[in-house]
Structure 1
Amino acid sequence: MMQLDARLTAAAYCAPPSARYASIAIELIARADKAPVDIFVAPEQAAPPKLYCRTGLSLDHEQLMSLADIGIRDFYVRHGDVRKLGEYLREAYLNGRRTVTVAEQFSAMQVVVSAEIEHAVRLLDCSKFVSLAATVGRDIAALISSRNVLPYEIFSVARHDFSTFVHVTNVASYSVLLAKRLGINDIRQLELLASAAMLHDLGKRHIPAKILSKSGRLTTTERELVEMHPTRGYIELCSRPDLTFEQLMVVYQHHERIDGTGYPVGITGKHISPWAKLIAVVDVFDALTGERPYREPITPQQAIGYLLRNAGTHFDAEIVQCWEAAFTE
């Protein structure tokens, strides 16, 4: 069976000069006999994608897999075709009819939910996003609980770019992996934790995009706006009867620090929810290893080193040590 490795990616949004496309790892559709949607390729990173294969036409597997040899890792599909592509991937990877790895299923899942997340997070009413977060949280918990999977396996196939759905699905999957290592095996608790992780940055939708994507240093005013996102997310969600106190605390406290130097309140460790402490570790891990407008990503080993240096001050030391042990296994 084809194995996915660290080169592979799920879906991510990009904006070439001519249109908006979604990128999709070549390996994810390598099993298809025919193109499920129009497929495009970008020979150069900054160039607009060009049509590679029309919907329904046969795919040459040998030629398709050889593209990686010339540096092409991803295909592109039109934004409007993401939902249709997701339906194909759900049938091919997520219905249990084929034997695939958990990593392959996770890659497919990121594509399947990408369009829905990006749309739902922009709606004035957050209800659709909350419902989607619950659904995806259940799927991630079920997927990771079903078989023994290592954190590095998920890291190796997860997308690491600057995108809403990429970050939250990565953090949700890491949170379940870490929770299981900490002894949380109740499936309902894992579902609620994963759903909370999906929601943890909801308040960022109230921050202007130009601030979130700014490549230079933030001004004091811009920094204050960014540091309001836990409060904005909490206020938006706190009256909902379908969320637990623990989930709300993930949204509100995931940037608090053990020594009281975090935000939005600056409380110390004993007052921080256990789930918020857990999410804080994997949230920072994913942020450091992912692409951001203001810096290059660092390696997982460097990110774990940062967590270890700040264990006991910024982060719960036991949780950091557990994540290091799980990731380096």
Structure 2
Amino acid sequence: MRLLPINMCQPGMRLHQNIYSADGVILLAENVELTEHLIKRLQTHGITNIYVQDHRTDDIEIHEPLRMETKAKVLVEIRSSFRKMMYDTNSDNRHTYSFLGKKFREVFSLILDDISDHREAMSLITNICVMDSHLYQHSMNVCVYTSLLGIAQGYSREELYSLGLGSLLHDVGKVKIPKEILFKPGKLTDEEFKEIQKHTTYGFKMLKDEANIPLISAHCAFQHHERMNGSGYPRGIGGDDIHEYAQWIGIVDSFDAMTSQRVYRQAKLPHYALDILMADAGTLYDKQKVEVFRNKIAIYPIGMTVALSTGEVGVVVDLNNDYLHRPIVRILQDQDGQDLHAPYEIDLSKHLSLMVTEVNPTSGKMA
């Protein structure tokens, strides 16, 4: 098993995991052989990374925090609920969304059941569903990462529900944004961005009076773009005036946005996104919370191809939970780019002179 960016996949490779349609139906099954046409289809539908089979790494176990079945169910429910609100033609702005509390508590219960025993470092979540909007995948990702941080902080189950619902619904106000702006395939103008910023206020108004949704969760939607130095929106509050749940969500929201592919820009590699968060720690984000995030996220997830400072290329096969930046790597190619007949493993936590210098290097190829 090997995690590859879709733009590095080649015809003849075989899927290691199912790919689901937006309705939760298996679109491409495990073991399907990829063709040029299928690869282009996956790219078109926003799939950025997939697990493929590789006999040299077929013993690697996936350590994603959610089961594939859970991810598919959660994404289908998020998409269904958000689209129901987005395309609601009811002109009565006073109507409520009474289904949100019940449906999303059920959705979060599925997530919490999967991640409750996931005490180790979090791995990045692959997008296994073909979606018509990144909003749905983003909402799930932010919920999973944030909830794992909440578990690490020792939050009670009820606190996790408030944090989890707040993170799952943090962008719900975007259903009120004009669709031509929300789904614009290019970069937003300044006026369009101002319109997008209104989603925080819309989200708060939608959630604050709903049954089964804590008021704190509504404030998460309201405050997740506020920043510690007061430079955020919608109110420009800072420091302790920002609820701690919203502070967590703001960090994770920024990270996932930076590492997600957009039509108008390439996704940043995880370690670059983390560097940006660390640079802004103490200014935009709470420093201690960013450090917790850094210590809990596996920026080199299992299955990722990396190049070392020696010029060798390999695949991450395991993590060192105390040294997440220094994983165990199975070397597949020597410094000259030649495939090894006998791959071997290096524990970077025991070889401090070695560094990861590149992620998904173009020189790294499949045997």
Fold shared by both chains (TM-score > 0.5): yes
Q: Is the 8 A contact 1:141 1:187 kept in 2?
A: no
Whether 2:273 is the aligned partner of 1:273: answer no
Give deviations 1:241-296, integer Å, cap 9, x for gaps: 42223212111000001010100000011200000000001111111111123211
- Shift, 1:157, TM fit: 6.4
Partner residue, 1:67? 33
Partner residue, 1:203? 173
Give deviations 1:125-146, integer Å, cap 9, x for gaps: 5333332221111221221112
Query: Match for 1:111 among 44, 47, 72?
Result: 72
1:218 and 1:74 mapped to 2: Cα distance? 26
Letter in 2 for 1:227: Q
Q: Given the superposition, is the C-alpha separation of residues 38 and 143 from structure 1 closer, same or farther in structure 2, using an over 3 Å criterion?
A: closer
Letter in 2 for 1:120: S
Partner residue, 2:223? 253
Give the percent of matched residue pairs that are identical in Structure 1 and Structure 2: 26
1:104 and 1:321 mapped to 2: Cα distance? 20
Whether 2:161 is the aligned partner of 1:174: answer no
What is the TM-score normalised by the length of structure 1? 0.69
Letter in 2 for 1:109: T
Identify, as 1 or 2, the structure richer in strand: 2
Task: Give unpaired runs (5+ residues) of structure 1.
Answer: 10-24, 31-36, 42-58, 77-99
Give deviations 1:53-109, integer Å, cap 9, x for gaps: xxxxxx9xxxx6261597957999xxxxxxxxxxxxxxxxxxxxxxx9663843322
Q: Is the 8 A contact 1:102 1:144 kept in 2?
A: no
Letter in 1 for 2:110: D
Give deviations 1:202-252, integer Å, cap 9, x for gaps: 100011222123344423321221111000010111112422232121110
Whether 2:91 is the aligned partner of 1:120: answer no
Partner residue, 1:295? 265
Match runs of 1:41-52 below 5 Å: none
- Shift, 1:116, TM fit: 2.6
2:18 and 2:38 mapped to 1: Cα distance? 14
2:25 and 2:251 mapped to 1: Cα distance? 39
Q: Given the superposition, is the C-alpha separation of residues 289 and 112 from structure 1 closer, same or farther in structure 2, using an over 3 Å criterion?
A: same
Identify, as 1 or 2, the structure richer in helix: 1
Whether 2:158 is the aligned partner of 1:148: answer no
- Shift, 1:200, TM fit: 0.4
1:175 and 1:246 mapped to 2: Cα distance? 15
RMSD after superposition: 3.2
* Structure possessing the higher radius of gyration over alpha carbons: 2
Match runs of 1:1-329 below 5 Å: 6-7=3-4, 26-29=15-18, 65=31, 67-68=33-34, 103=64, 105-123=66-84, 124=88, 125-152=96-123, 154-156=124-126, 162-181=133-152, 183-328=153-298, 329=324
Q: Is the 8 A contact 2:64 2:122 kept in 1?
A: no
- The size of the alignment, in residue pairs, is 259
Q: Is the 8 A contact 2:18 2:128 kept in 1?
A: no
1:216 and 1:174 mapped to 2: Cα distance? 28
2:109 and 2:286 mapped to 1: Cα distance? 26
Letter in 1 for 2:167: A
Letter in 2 for 1:65: N
Partner residue, 2:357? none
2:225 and 2:264 mapped to 1: Cα distance? 19
